[in-house]
Amino acid sequence: MAQKPNRRDDVKNAALLILERDGAQGLRTAAIAREVGFSEAALYCYFPGKDAILEFILDERLAVTRGNRLAVDALGLPPLDSVLALFARHMEFMEKNPGLYRVIYSDELHRGSPALMKKLRRVSREHLDAVCAYTRAAHRAGQLRPDVDPDSLGMALMGAVHSAFAARTVIGKRKKMSAMGADMLRLILRGATA
């Protein structure tokens, strides 16, 4: 027997597609329903509104962040290699879900919604905590120059992801985000290593 499609995932994917294609202004419940192929009223059987869809997207991002951290930890790599492995997984997921960048980086989507902002902060905080855990371990292991603050390095590495996104969406670079991000990460790490 064929497996029944998960309509909540269909709604999520439609929202991400609209965000990638039309930006935050295009994300309306009617447009999401139309993209999925059902009425706006039917959409409310799955989600009470647009904010609930965005929360669902952020919940998935948090689960992926946690899963990526566990997978990288299981590899038993040196700390700086773990940073690169974590970012490779992160960029791969983001390339498959490009509209997700708009959810994370568009304040238009969070303005006026304390619940969404709280969830976004949690997702961002957990990802930053994972990166900083590796940079702190690298600092303790002597992989970084003594004058490098591991938490500031973690923030700089997170900024490389944002820069790769901006290069792709704003500037229109055709190079894959993962390749641009990896290049930027290596440049940042080259300046920080012992």
Q: Which of 190, 188, 167 is nearest to 177 (CA)?
A: 167
CATH number of 50-192: 1.10.357.10
Per-residue tokens: 93: 């997921």
Give me the residues paired with residue 14 across strands: none
Q: Where do the domains of the chain lie? A: 50-192
For residue 114, the model assigns a pLDDT of: 85
- At 5 the pLDDT is 62
Residue 72 has which token pair? 């990288």
- Per-residue confidence (pLDDT) for residue 2, from 0 to 100: 47
Q: Check residue 194 and give its pLDDT.
A: 66
CA distances from 83 to 10, 109, 130, 173 (A): 32, 29, 9, 24
153 burial level (CB within 10 Å; 0-12, 13-18, 19+): buried
Instruction: Decide if 53 contacts 12 (C-beta within 8 A).
Output: yes
Q: For each of the chain's 194 residues, which pLDDT tens digit applies?
A: 444 568 899 999 999 899 888 877 888 999 999 999 989 999 999 999 988 998 898 888 889 989 999 999 999 999 999 999 999 998 888 888 877 777 777 766 677 788 888 888 888 899 899 999 999 999 999 999 999 999 999 999 988 877 877 777 666 667 777 788 888 888 898 888 86
Q: CB-hemisphere CA count at 13 Å for 137? A: 15
